[in-house]
Amino acid sequence: MSTPIDLTGVDRETALRLYRQVVRLRRFEDKVYQLFLKGELPGTVHQYQGQEAVAVGVCEALAADDWITSTHRPHGHAIAKGVSMRAAMAELYGKATGCCGGKGGSMHLGDPDVGMVPAIAIVAGGVSVVSGMGLAFKLQKSGQVAACFFGEGATNEGAFHEGLNFSAVQKLPIVYVCENNLYGASTAYHLTTLVPEVTERVKAYGIPAISVDGMDPVAVRAAMQQAREHAASGHGPMLIEAKTYRFAGHSRGDARKYRGREEEDTWKELDPITRMRDAILARDPADEQAITQIDAEIETELDDAVEFARQSPLPDATLAFTDVYADPFPIPSVVGERS
Amino acid sequence: MGSMRMNQAIATALAEEMRENSSVIVMGEDVADAGGPFKTSEGLLKEFGPKRVRDTPISEMGFTGAAVGAAALGLRPVVEIMFVEFLGVALDAVVTEAAKFRYLSQGQVSCPMVVRASIGSGLGFGCQHSQTLENWVAATPGLKVACPSDPQSAYGLLKAAIRDPDPVIFLEPRALYASRGEVVTGPDGLLELGRARIAREGTKATVVTLGRTTSLTRAAAQQANLDIEIIDLLSLVPWDVKTVCASVKRTGRLVVIEEAPHSGGWGSEIISTITAQAFASLDAAPFRITAPDVPVPYQRDLEALYLPSESEIVRQLESYLVTGVVPQPWWTQEGIAR
């Protein structure tokens, strides 16, 4: 049933880069899962396996100085936007070298240097914040665009509707990227929403929307190029609904009992890694070697990231007190007297 | 220097800061064309235009969230929440996002934004438009909280809040918008966040006030000729431990007067800290004069009873100064409630 990825108009270098990015995101998550099972990483994780084509396609179409907002499932977004595997992995380990200095953890990956505010782990939280980013770009006439990732579950939050209405009426340079993976945690979208097409729902705000195969990085990239162009040229925000699927559970403890193996298998046939690989090799079987080399490079990069994270120092206790405010409050000179 | 009402002092401070810094923008419901529901942004649209003075949809979550994103990327938004109760639907943006960006980004992303909100009882607006709710925001590290008590402090503190590199919640006692006072403008009129001021000097007790309770307590002291030192806190986060502690060491007694309900009030924090730091200086138990643990009632006489009134402040302070014993609030004395 799987439709082949269409590489028409995509040069070899771009195709291989898309493949590399999709595999980087996947392998990072697979490694994180193993490390979790071994008990090396604390807390919880919300994993991205299956959805890689969305983050990769979107970030490939963004300019380096465009910004993104992310969610409680940010690993893929962060790496696709340019956070290094080292900085991301070290953050998961809670190390001082992590992208948040060990103070954020899995749900807050981000790095302003690559145009990503620390991920906002409140469902639809980023949808209201991104309006202001668009407003800043518009007032500064910077030509930048902000892309806002969220899942289909966010579309039932009030913030989603207020954020979309706000940016639509003010014609802000924003692209909303809805990753529709069919389930909000364990509940199917159609059980919580009578209009399950997000593209239909946003018509109410006058925002143009396109639906795209979220398992195809080439298609997502093309949709994002179109949406970015629309947003950057002063026409206001646009929305992309990427139909996708997370192969993993919602979070660490999710055994996925709410969906059938058959459904999972159907979606796995659409695995963006296999499809990208097939498309590249269909065009030129000689690229087998390039692909093998990419795979090997990613394993090296990943091993290095894990080693870096393991060897990195833990944050000092004083770090817990830094960056709460620009300047710490003065410590009162009058302290405990004896009676 | 000139006489102005508190809402005019606020509009003046906004205009000056907008002139000073082109990244300052104002957003909110009815703030542009209408000049603000309480006339606190009058004249801004005319001078600065619709790009910087923006009427928003009735959408507190939408525009407060937008302020967070705009602040993170270099603007200095000042948003107006018409009644502080409406902050309830936008708390996520303030408490969970603005207050955390600096921390999570290791200081790289700051949120220099001001959330202005009108607070307080006294105008017959009923229980959903009369609360102060400072406790919603005072217990969130990453936020600062300020509350002026007259035109001068509104002017000086708001300017400081706009210039501050961190998110500041700026709570404006609604009943004082029309109050008039002399306002020193320019650098001499600027105040510092985190610094209290001594609103009246005295020797027998230190009385800490905030917002509306400052003028009520001052009037009570004048009327009954009470020898008390009134410290107008002005900032709740950070609050001026040093000034309060030094005063208590002089007077030996501490009273906090709050407009909010008794349970869980910020005054408990003041008393806890000062008791720990100046216990030996105290010659009587510290206590709080507050509103009762009820919603703000609508009917005029009941509403007047809600806020610690001038006569209630006089009654409790006179008794305390003479006996050193903590007085009961009127509702307990009259056997109505605990």
Q: Hey, of A128, A133, A329, which one would you mutate to test binding to chain B, going by the most B CBs within 10 A of its CB?
A: A128
Decide if A324 is inside a domain.
Answer: no
**pLDDT, tens digit, 9 for 90 and up, residues B30-78:** 999 999 999 999 999 999 999 999 999 999 999 999 999 999 999 999 9
CA dihedral defined by A69, B32, B160, B171, rounded to 10 degrees?
-90
A256 within a domain of the structure (yes/no): no
Q: Which of B54, B129, B262, B288 is catalytic?
A: B129
Once rounded to an integer, what is the mean pLDDT over residues B224-230?
98
Write out chain A residues lying below 8 Å of B105, CB-based. Answer: 100, 110-112, 117-118, 323
pLDDT digits (tens, 9 = 90+) for A154-173: 999 999 999 999 999 999 99
Across all residues in chain B, what is the average pLDDT?
A: 96
**pLDDT reported for residue B62:** 95
Indicate the pLDDT class of residue A330, thresholds 50, 70 and 90.
confident
In-domain check, residue B92: yes
Inter-chain touch B104–A137, beta carbons under 8 Å: no
| Residue A306 resides in a domain | yes
More confident residue, B109 or A337: B109
- Give the long-range contacts of residues A289-292, CB within 8 A, separation 24 or more: A290/A16, A291/A16, A291/A19
Which residues are registered as beta bridge partners of B208?
Answer: B231, B256
Residue B129 catalytic?
Answer: yes
Domain that residue A164 falls in? 12-250+264-311
pLDDT reading at A80 higher than 90: yes
Query: Do B129 and B263 share a structural domain?
Result: no
Q: B29 vs chain A: nearest CA distance in angstroms?
A: 12
Statement to judge: residues B20 and B159 lie in one domain: yes
Q: Which of B296, B173, B313 is nearest to B234 (CA)?
A: B173
Give me the phi and psi of B109, to 5 degrees please.
-115, 120
Domain termination residue (choose one: B189, B219, B241): B189
Identify whether residues B140 and B210 lie together within a single domain: no
Residues B125, B245 within the same domain: no
Residue-wise burial string across A97-109, b where 16 or more C-beta atoms lie within 10 A, e elsewhere: bbbbbbbbbbbbb
**Residue A115 forms part of a structural domain:** yes
| Confidence band, pLDDT 50/70/90 cuts, at residue A331 | confident
pLDDT at A296: 98
CATH number of the domain within which B304 lies: 3.40.50.920
Domain that holds residue B152: 2-189
Q: Which CATH number fits the domain that encloses residue B61? A: 3.40.50.970
Q: Which residues of B touch A108 (CB under 8 A)?
A: 104
Strand order in the sheet with B114-119: B53-55, B24-28, B76-81, B114-119, B168-173, B144-146, B235-237
Same domain, yes or no: B71 and B209: no
Asked if B236 and B179 sit in the same domain, the reply is no
Sequential DSSP letters for A125-182: HHHHHHHHHHHHHHHHT----EEEEEEGGGGGSHHHHHHHHHHHHTT--EEEEEEE-S
Indicate whether A319 belongs to any domain: no
Q: Is the pLDDT of residue A122 over 90?
A: yes
Residue B243 maps to a domain = yes
Other C-beta atoms lying within 10 Å of the C-beta of residue B44? 20
Whether A2 has a pLDDT exceeding 90, the answer reads no
The pLDDT value given to residue A252:
76
pLDDT the model gives residue A3: 85
Please identify, among B131, B161, B189, the residue that sits at the C-terminal boundary of a domain. Answer: B189
The Cα–Cα gap between B94 and A37 comes to: 36
Q: How many domains does chain A have?
A: 1
In a domain, A245, yes or no: yes
Asked if the structure places residue A331 within a domain, the reply is no
CATH number of the domain bearing residue A98: 3.40.50.970
Tell me the mean pLDDT in the region A283-291.
Answer: 98
A334 part of a folded domain: no
Q: How many domains are contained in chain B?
A: 2
Residues B180 and B207 in one domain: no
Question: How confident is the model at residue A333, as a pLDDT?
Answer: 62
Are B16 and B90 members of one domain?
yes
At A337, the pLDDT band (50, 70, 90 cuts) reads low
Same domain, B71 and B204: no
Task: State residue A339's pLDDT score.
Answer: 43
B338 occurs within a structural domain: no
Is B227 within a domain?
yes
